[in-house]
Structure 1
Amino acid sequence: MSQTAPINIDPATSPAGLRHRAEAHAAAFPALLAQAEHLAANVVLGDHGRRRAGMGDEFWQYRPAEQGDGLRDIDWRRSGRSDAHFVRQKEWQAAQSVMLWVDDALSMTFSGGKDRPTKGHRARVLALALCVLLNRGGERFGLANRGTPPRRGEGHLTRIATHLMAPEGAADYGTPNARILPAGSRAVFISDFLGDPTPVEHELTKSADRGVKGALLQILDPDEEAFPYDGRTVFESMSGAVQFETLKARSLRDAYLERLAERKAHLQDVARRTGWRYHCHHSSTPAVSALMWLYTALDRGA
């Protein structure tokens, strides 16, 4: 008996298909926000996120304007002395800002069973739940891969949820972008990290050079950990761009598990060297454990 792992999902390209996907995402928006609120309710806030009096008016630095900055963020006096635009950052904005990158590549749409969520859904719920907690703590949060600058408030939380529900990207694997992370801020990267690890290492190194610390949360499906495949199997990337067929899938298991262990060890080592923290979460386990880890990791890295 043949089997395929994972199942290829072709993105809709026709106008009717695009509309159907848009309506499906819109319908899921309230459920995502409700799940995030419910998940956040299971976490008791500690000292993390307390405001520090006297820091709000203290100048931090000028930085070049980047994608996602609004016109009101531009310091026109400083920008007038240069050909570029600059943003005036205050200390509390850098020290209390958390930027999230949530992988929206096609690999995150995989689930090995109907009884568990896709990796992407779990990532979105965790990211939004973390934003709920940060908002309650009076902290600013933004979405790096959607160019959403760090702010706070219920309206901003709704905007984040809307961005998280946008259709997936077209690439098999995602790549984080650290260029829009405010210097001295904190960051969270949520992905399966199964693509080329070089861009991830590059972004973490650049972040560390700018005083940015944060957390890497790797989300994997249990099937990606156990490799439960045997006999004739067709392995295919979610976009269908890469395909490999074998008659003896079980013979690949040891080599696969070794490569996966090496990938985890590499991510953990890169995180340690750059002052970040790393954790692997399985989509079959309760989401609250990963949320607690994220919240604690940011607290320790603050």
Structure 2
Amino acid sequence: MPRLVLEARRIALTVQHGLHGRRRAGSGENFWQYRRFIDGEPANRVDWRRSARDDHLYVREREWEAAHTVWIWPDLSPSMDYASRGQAPKRERALIIAFALAELLVKGGERVGMPEMMRPSANRRIAERMAESVVLAPRLPASLPPPFAPSPLSEIVLLGDFWSPASEVAERIELLAASGAQGHLVQIVDPAEETFPFSGRIEFREPESGDRLTVGRAESWRADYDLKLVEHRARIRAAAERLGWSFTVHRTDRPASELLLALHMRMGAGGTASAAPKGGGRAFVSRGPA
């Protein structure tokens, strides 16, 4: 976990360069900046200590702190352990993106929480707090985000492989969107789940139930697999777009910074854009798309 936190912080610093933050002046409690006093403003807004150092009057502005929270859920279920040769497990990519996105959001003045694991916080050590919450989580990881009631001003980011039946995925995001919260689905997949490179006699194992299936000529399944995958993703994308949420596919052989930048830029934009997968439209069905 410390290695993932460090990697997340490195990626966040890379992406942060050139980004405009989401911070605003307002009625919060934390200092944001000084600005020149404008004629007509109440005199009690003047910061006399700062003004005494100059020939001008200054106002001490505070950070905008509305009830806006970003909830980030990384899928930690067994299917996220999958990794083809030369690739890191999908779970690691989900955690790195979750931690790095939280770093960027907190630096921009937002609060970040994790459903059932961590209350919303704007702590400067947000990545460490999230990592501790993951390690200490009392429940076994589930394949779908837990049902909870976010406020209408919230945004939700779901990071997982979403190989559960499409109807179950759609039902869960509809529940989370019922309050009016905006959301973003990111399907994280291994390159082998996109290209289905298997041939010959292969044994496939379902990572959560342990069920096994042995096939004699795996390459003969490729065409049917492609069709099933396209249908699965189309149903999830349609459900997301119907709610005004975004849907993105990310391969673990692509840079994490690529996804982080796209996701951060999409935050607060209404979430209606969706991204097509790079490098084809396949995915290895570790849980079985429906």
Contact 1:123 / 1:219 at 8 angstroms: preserved in 2?
yes
Q: Deviations over 1:119-146 (max 9, x none)?
A: 0000000000000001111110011142
The alignment status of 1:99 with 2:68, answered yes or no, reads no
Q: What amino acid is aligned across from residue 229 of structure 1 in structure 2?
A: F
Cα distance, 1:239 vs. partner? Answer: 3.6
Q: 1:263 to 1:92 in 2, by over 3 A?
A: farther
Contact 2:190 / 2:252 at 8 angstroms: preserved in 1?
yes
Cα distance, 1:201 vs. partner? Answer: 1.1
Contact 1:181 / 1:212 at 8 angstroms: preserved in 2?
yes
Q: Which residue of 2 aligns with 1:51?
A: 24
* SS of alignment partner, residue 230 of structure 2: helix
Q: What amino acid is aligned across from residue 26 of structure 2 in structure 1?
A: A
What are the residue-to-residue correspondences of 1:52-201 with 2, within 5 Å?
52-54=25-27, 92-94=65-67, 96-113=68-85, 115-146=86-117, 148-165=118-135, 174-201=143-170
Q: Deviations over 1:28-73 (max 9, x none)?
A: x2211110110001113644421351378xxxxxxxxxxxxxxxxx
Contact 2:182 / 2:244 at 8 angstroms: preserved in 1?
yes
What are the residue-to-residue correspondences of 1:213-252 with 2, within 5 Å?
213-239=182-208, 241-252=210-221
The alignment status of 1:256 with 2:225, answered yes or no, reads yes
Q: 1:153 to 1:167 in 2, by over 3 A?
A: closer
Unaligned runs of 5+ in 1: 1-28, 57-90
Q: Deviations over 1:59-114 (max 9, x none)?
A: xxxxxxxxxxxxxxxxxxxxxxxxxxxxxxxx9443x210011111000000011x
TM-score, normalized by length of structure 1? 0.72
TM-score, normalized by length of structure 2? 0.75
Distance of 1:127 and 1:195 partners within structure 2:
21
Cα distance, 1:166 vs. partner? Answer: 5.5
Q: Which residue of 2 aligns with 1:40?
A: 12
* SS of alignment partner, residue 88 of structure 2: coil
Q: 1:152 to 1:170 in 2, by over 3 A?
A: closer
Q: Which has the higher helix share?
A: 1
The alignment status of 1:269 with 2:238, answered yes or no, reads yes
Q: Deviations over 1:189-230 (max 9, x none)?
A: 000001122232122222332110011000000101111111
Contact 1:204 / 1:271 at 8 angstroms: preserved in 2?
yes
Q: What amino acid is aligned across from residue 131 of structure 2 in structure 1?
A: A
Contact 1:105 / 1:169 at 8 angstroms: preserved in 2?
no
Distance of 2:2 and 2:81 partners within structure 1:
20
Distance of 2:77 and 2:138 partners within structure 1:
6
Unaligned runs of 5+ in 2: 30-63, 272-290
Q: 1:164 to 1:192 in 2, by over 3 A?
A: same
Determine which structure has more spread, i.e. the larger CA radius of gyration. Answer: 2
Distance of 1:32 and 1:201 partners within structure 2:
30
Q: 1:170 to 1:162 in 2, by over 3 A?
A: closer
Q: 1:234 to 1:169 in 2, by over 3 A?
A: farther
Distance of 2:178 and 2:21 partners within structure 1:
24
Alignment equivalent of 1:291, drawn from 249, 252, 260:
260
Distance of 1:98 and 1:134 partners within structure 2:
8
Name the % identity.
28
Q: 1:155 to 1:55 in 2, by over 3 A?
A: closer
Cα distance, 1:254 vs. partner? Answer: 0.8
Q: What amino acid is aligned across from residue 88 of structure 2 in structure 1?
A: P
Q: Which residue of 1 aligns with 2:41?
A: none
Contact 1:176 / 1:199 at 8 angstroms: preserved in 2?
no
Q: What amino acid is aligned across from residue 204 of structure 1 in structure 2?
A: I
Aligned residues: 236
Cα distance, 1:183 vs. partner? Answer: 3.0
Distance of 1:92 and 1:99 partners within structure 2:
16
